[in-house]
Chains A and B, each alone.
Chain A
Amino acid sequence: MKKTFPILGALTAILLGYALYEALVAAPTEQTMGDVQRIFYYHVPSAWTAFTLFLINFVASILYLVRRHPAADIVALVSAEVGVVFCTVVLVTGPIWARPVWGIWWAPGDIRLTSTLVLWLIYVSYLMLRRFSSSGQTPTLAAALAVLGALCVPFVYFSIWFFRTQHPQPVIGGGGSIDPRMLHVLLLNWLAFSCFAFLVCWSRYRLESLQREVDQAHAMESLMDLRGSAR
C-alpha cells in the first residue's frame, strides 16, 4: 500500500506530461481558431472528470442514505471536493477560450454556461454545509443535497442539445465532429486527468479517515477527562 501510491503517482505524472506534450505539440492545429483551440484538451477532460466525480458523489450519497456506512460518506465528501476543483478548472478555462474566439469572456444567459455555474455553486454549498455544520444530521442533509445536485449534471450535459446556445456541440454523442488525431489527444488527456483525480481522491480519503479517527480520539479523551473530574 505504501509503495503503490508513489508508483502510481510517478506513472500519472509521466502520463500527464505526455498528454501535455500531445496537446501542445503533437495535436494538429485547428484551422479557424489556431492554437487557442488547444485549450479544449484541458477544458473538456476536466468537465468529464468533474461529471464522473459528481456521479460517484451521487452513488456514494445514495449508499450512505440507504446503509449509513461512514466509508460511503467519506467517498461522497471526497468526490464532491475534487469534483469542485475540476469544475473550477472548467469555469476558468472556458472564458479564457471564449475571449479570443467569441470576443467576450462570458455569454450572459447562455444555458450551458449558466447551468455549469449553478452546478458549481450547488457543490460549493454542499462543501460549505459539510465544513460549517456540526450537527449529527449533516451527512444526511449533505447526501440529500448531493442527490439534488446530481440531477443537475445531465441537465448541464444535454442542455446544448435542447436549447440554443453559443457553446460548441458535444464532440462525442452530439452534433459536433472531430479529427481522429484530436480525439486521440482528447481521450489521452481525459485518461491522464482521471488517473490524477483518482490519486487525489485516494490521498484525500486517507486524510479524511485519519481526521475522523483523531476527532474520535479527542472525543474519547474529553469523555475520560469528564469522568475523571466527576469522581
Chain B
Amino acid sequence: MRNGYLFAAYAATWIIHIVYLGTIVSRYSRLKREIEDLKKPGVRS
C-alpha cells in the first residue's frame, strides 16, 4: 500500500509536466497557423 503513495507521487509529477508540455505544444501549433495566415495575401484572422 505504501508503494502506492510512491507511485502516485511520481506519476503525479510526470502528469503535471506532461500536461504543461502539452499546453506549450498546442500554443505552438496555434501560433504556426497564425503565421501561415499572416503569410497568405489578403487573409485576415
Instruction: Give the residue name and chain of the A residue nearest to B35 (CB).
Output: A214
Which residues of chain A are within 8 angstroms of B28 by Cβ–Cβ distance? 207
Q: How far is the CB of B42 from chain A (nearest CB, A)?
A: 11
B34 touches A96 (CB 8 A): no
| Interface range on chain B (Cβ under 8 Å from partner) | 20 to 34
Could you tell me if A88 and B16 are in contact, using CB atoms closer than 8 angstroms? yes
B3 touches A214 (CB 8 A): no
Contact check, A96 vs B8: say whether CB atoms are below 8 A apart: yes
Q: Which of B1-33 contact A (CB under 8 A)?
A: 1-3, 5-6, 8-10, 12-13, 16-17, 20-21, 24, 27-28, 31
Partner of A42, one of B10, B21, B38, B45: B10
- Chain A positions within 8 Å of B20 at CB level: 82, 85, 200
Chain B residues whose CB sits within 8 angstroms of the CB of A218 once the complex forms: 38, 45
Pick the contact of B16: A85, A204, A221 (CB < 8 A). Answer: A85
Q: Are B24 and A204 in contact (CB under 8 A)?
A: yes
Expressed in whole angstroms, the Cα–Cα distance for A85 and B35 within the complex equals 28
Q: Are A42 and B3 in contact (CB under 8 A)?
A: no
B13 touches A36 (CB 8 A): no
Q: Are A36 and B5 in contact (CB under 8 A)?
A: yes
Known: A85-B20, A207-B27. A46 touches B2 (CB 8 A): no
* Interface of chain B, main secondary structure: helix
Nearest opposing residue in chain B for A99, CB measure: B5
Whole-angstrom CA separation of A46 from B27 in the bound complex: 24
Interface centre among B3, B6, B31, B38 (most CB of A within 10 A): B6
Contact of A34 among B2, B8, B38 (CB under 8 A): B2
Given contacts A89-B16, A92-B12, contact A210 B31 (CB under 8 A): yes
A90: min CB distance to chain B, Å: 10
* Alpha-carbon gap, A96 to B9, bound state (A): 6
Beyond known contacts A100-B1, A214-B31: 10 more, CB 8 A cutoff = A36-B5, A39-B9, A89-B12, A89-B16, A89-B17, A92-B16, A96-B8, A99-B5, A210-B31, A214-B35
> Could you list some 24 contacts between A and B, CB below 8 A?
A35-B2, A35-B6, A36-B3, A42-B13, A82-B20, A85-B16, A85-B17, A85-B20, A89-B13, A92-B13, A93-B9, A96-B5, A96-B12, A99-B5, A100-B2, A196-B17, A200-B24, A204-B24, A210-B35, A214-B31, A214-B38, A217-B38, A218-B38, A218-B45
